[in-house]
Amino acid sequence: MAKLLGAVFHVDKDLIKTRLGIPFPVRQCLQCRGYIKNRKSFCSSQCQYDYTHIELECPECGQIFRRKQSYVKKRVAKPSINNGKLQKRFYCSHRCFGQYWGRNYGFGTRHGYHRPRKWNWDLVLHIQRETGYGAWRLSRLTGVPISTVSMILRKSRTKEC
Ligand SMILES: [Zn+2]
Ligand SMILES: [Zn+2]
């Protein structure tokens, strides 16, 4: 009976305990393998967070941080290609991200980005390709007005089709 329940609930047959003579499966935390009394998959919100977030190292400041696993997988499965190089960078913060892009594509730091007279379309498209960000975040990163960002994205889409 324990073996059967184990197969059904995907838990070790050793973990099937009996209470009042009725066998019931004891759940294990997916992260730390500790026992859980309730019907959840994790013993704590910390375990849930650790399980669903991958540990990454920021290429800019070297800080270890975590990103949602589904997001990382999506990015790595569909990496954007930039100058023939695969882009798989993850940054701990907007600040580090901005520093990298500032060095490579020459826009000011977050502290004092100046508004260029003519908006840098290439920059917006580069970052969009790199991050998949929507118009709102692109606008905040580059200082380009959101209406202009939307227009750039719309035009680039129709051009590519
Ligand atoms: Zn746990
Ligand atoms: Zn960083």
pLDDT tens profile 72-91: 888 777 666 555 555 567 88
145 alpha carbon to ligand 2 midpoint, in Å?
26
pLDDT value for 46:
92
pTM attached to this predicted model: 0.44
* C-alpha to C-alpha distances, 43 to 27, 50, 66, 113, nearest whole angstrom: 9, 12, 19, 45
pLDDT at 60 over 80: yes
More confident position, 93 or 119: 93
Residues within 5 Å of ion ligand 1 by Cβ?
29, 31-32, 34, 43, 47
Q: Give residue 140's pLDDT.
A: 85
How far is ligand 1, taken at its centre, from the CA of residue 71, in Å?
Answer: 22
- Evaluate if residue 22 carries a pLDDT over 60: no
Average pLDDT for residues 46-66, to the nearest whole number?
A: 90
Query: For residue 160, what pLDDT is reported?
Result: 53
CA atoms of 79 and 75, how far apart (whole Å): 6
End-to-end C-alpha distance for the chain, whole angstroms: 59
